[in-house]
Amino acid sequence: MAKLTRRTIVRLAAAAAGATLMPRAAAAQQRIVLNDASRLSPTPVARHWVVGDDPETAFVERLRREMKEARAGNRAFVVGGARHSMGGQSLYRNATAATFETKLCELDTAARTYRTHAGSRWIYLLQELDRAGFSPAVMQSNADFATAGTLSVNAHGWPVPFGPFGATVRSFRLMLADGTIVTCSPTENAELYGLAQGGYGLFGVILDMVVDMVPNALLRPTNELMPAGEFSPRFVAAIDGDPTVQMAYGRLSVARRDFLRQALMITYRPVPNQPARLPPVSAGGLMSSASREIFRAQIGSETGKRARWAAETVGNPAISSGIATRSTLMNEPVANLAGRDPLRTDILHEYFVAPDRFDAFLTACREVILRSRQDLLNVTLRYVKADAVSALSYAPVPRIAAVMLFSQSVTPEAEADMLAMTEALIERVIAIGGSFYLPYRLHARRDQVERAYPGVARFVAKKREIDPGLLFRNTMWDVYFA
């Protein structure tokens, strides 16, 4: 027998330990971690199912099976598309996560509607509708996202005079927690119709939907520079008083020396003598003439912010007519603005205020944001028509939406500062009768959510009634509602 030396004992022990730990190591290597657009929400999931272009019958059967297995394993079931939310609204720890990446577009030109699958991306739908001379009535301002995600957050866009996307959805099919499929519309399962619009996937899985479309058109912009205090009445007057305006938005200067004191209003009207054949939809959209480099040069730079404002208000209108089709204007990829610095991330905020409280909102922003350490790169202003259907309506009356993009350092200190700034700004917005958008960082207090959204108590009660086992959960449910 070989001599049992100390070295041999150590080797045998190491081998035994390796054999014991190998299954755990293998399991650790197989762990699936998903994230969202903030890059601040890494979430391990138990299972990730990427849904491709499966035949409908096979897809429905697989969906029921995945939900059943998740329920049997005491796991949540959560669905996502592009996962562009920023606080885990399409994520849940140790859940079964499904990512929809499907395509479907069936047009009914007589009814001016299209039927689309939950996972269809807007960039695909723009192309399909464009071939027939149509355009989505409403969509998100970027074309990378999935249609069911747009309905689940009830996003709005900058076509006017519309409310949120849900107002243009005539019906959708929803799979409930028990596998039942129901059709929801203003006349059929009307309560679910309102709950699932901006319901963040908490009531079921949206399968497909029938949505309004409008004729495409070649549009020309009108640019008007003005003091920010004049923007609100002029913006509303242009939208309410001129039926030829099809799209409209505004910008605010973010340079500190005149912070939110200058505004640019852009309205789009059809060009006279529309061509018999419109140019095909192309990529580009709003930022095609303002280079990404100019936009990104604003980070930490007052000079960069002034240069960007000069480019948008003077340079771009001087060198380009801005004429484009309605569909091309909406065909804006996220990559046109996306940052590439791994030490920073882009964080969105959005606030909704009545037009007559817009000046008070600007005052609140100047006082709160300038006291923080956050770097505001952009403010886009849009019009949102009143929404009386969705249970969590952010616009119970017509409101101006202010979409803000911040560049945030990826550090605990910056995250804490962002939380404090967000909480303070939300408080000021609620005080003037406004609301804030839920798909972003979960930095609001629960009492702020309840005050901005008076329908929360009913929303939560119906959730527990329709999904008593809480199969459909996400991180936002735990933070704001559970």
CB burial string 208-234: b at 16+ within 10 A, e below: bbbbbbbebbbbebeebeeebeebbee
The torsion angles phi and psi of 423, rounded to 5 degrees, stand at -60, -40
Note the pLDDT of residue 44.
97
Instruction: Note the pLDDT tens digit of each residue in 322-331.
Output: 999 999 999 9
Question: Among 220-224, 313-317, 336-340, 346-350, where is mean pLDDT lowest?
Answer: 336-340
The pLDDT-based confidence of 390 (bands split at 50, 70, 90) is very high
Alpha helices of 30-121 — where are they, by DSSP H? 56-72
Instruction: Note the pLDDT tens digit of each residue in 366-377.
Output: 999 999 999 999
- State the Cα–Cα distance between residues 35 and 475, nearest whole angstrom: 12
User: Can you tell me the mean pLDDT for 356-384?
Assistant: 98
Instruction: Note the pLDDT tens digit of each residue in 181-230.
Output: 999 999 999 999 999 999 999 999 999 999 999 999 999 999 999 999 99
The pLDDT mean for the chain works out to: 92
Structure-block tokens of residue 156: 């709005």
Instruction: Note the pLDDT tens digit of each residue in 292-321.
Output: 889 999 999 999 999 999 999 998 888 889
Within 90-204, strands assigned E span: 96-100, 105-108, 113-117, 134-136, 169-175, 181-184
pTM attached to this predicted model: 0.91
Q: Are 248 and 239 in contact (CB under 8 A)?
A: yes
Instruction: Note the pLDDT tens digit of each residue in 50-65.
Output: 998 776 888 999 999 9
- State the Cα–Cα distance between residues 423 and 447, nearest whole angstrom: 11
Assess whether pLDDT exceeds 60 at residue 6: no
Q: Which helix (H) or strand (E) holds 32?
A: strand 32-34
